[in-house]
Structure formats: C-alpha cells, structure tokens
Amino acid sequence: MPRYLSMVRINENEMSGEDFPEDFNERMGKLLEEITKAGVMLDTAGLTPTAEGTRVSWSDGKVSYTDGPFTESKEVVGGYALMQCKDKAEALEWTKRFLEIHPENWNITCELRELAEG
C-alpha cells in the first residue's frame, strides 16, 4: 500500500497556545486513536518553532547554516503525519478530518504527497 506524507503548514506568527479551544486535545486524541486503530497512521508529530531550528544549505559546493527564526518565511511546516492508505482518496479523507478539528478562524494547509517507493 502506498504511503503518504501530510505536511501541516502554518503561519507560526499567528499561532499561540492560547488559541487552542478547550476541547481541542480531546478531539484530536480521538481522531488519532481512530486513525491508528484503522492501521493508517505510521507516525505523527508537531514540530518545535523555527526559532529552535537550523537550515542547512548546499550552494556552490559549500554548506552553510542559518539559525532560526526564519523571518522571511510566512508559512512553515508545523507538523506531519505519515500514513499508509489504500489510495490517495483515503489519505485525503483523513487529512480533511484532521483539518476539520481545528477552529474555523485558523488558516492551516496540509500538503499531501505520496512517498516515492523504490
């Protein structure tokens, strides 16, 4: 079965811990339990803020390092889910359900891509 990576893209400047609804963790926990029991979820996690990250670049035969935060970035990957689904339609359905748990006033994008196998 194909594997899919859903990269959760957020504007971390618009997000704060105070913005999470009271029942958010409970609803997210139920969805994660359901997707795990269905045998779909292989791994998932949120990521630390870009202020704690480092970009490693390769250019002109040299490696360079840039410590965060990355102020030029409006949108960053804030988390991911690695899923094994029967097809892209199933992966899209789980991704849709994940997004629907979030408050309507939030702006979140999930980029869903199949892993290249072989």
pLDDT at residue 17 in the model: 60
For 65, the 3-state DSSP assignment is strand
pLDDT at residue 74 in the model: 77
Site of tokens 């105070």: 18
CATH no. of 3-114: 3.30.70.1060
Confidence label for 13 from pLDDT (cuts 50, 70 and 90): confident
Q: Where are the domains of the chain?
A: 3-114
Model confidence, pTM: 0.86
User: Is the pLDDT at 115 greater than 80, yes or no?
Assistant: yes
Q: Quick one: average pLDDT of 18-39?
A: 90
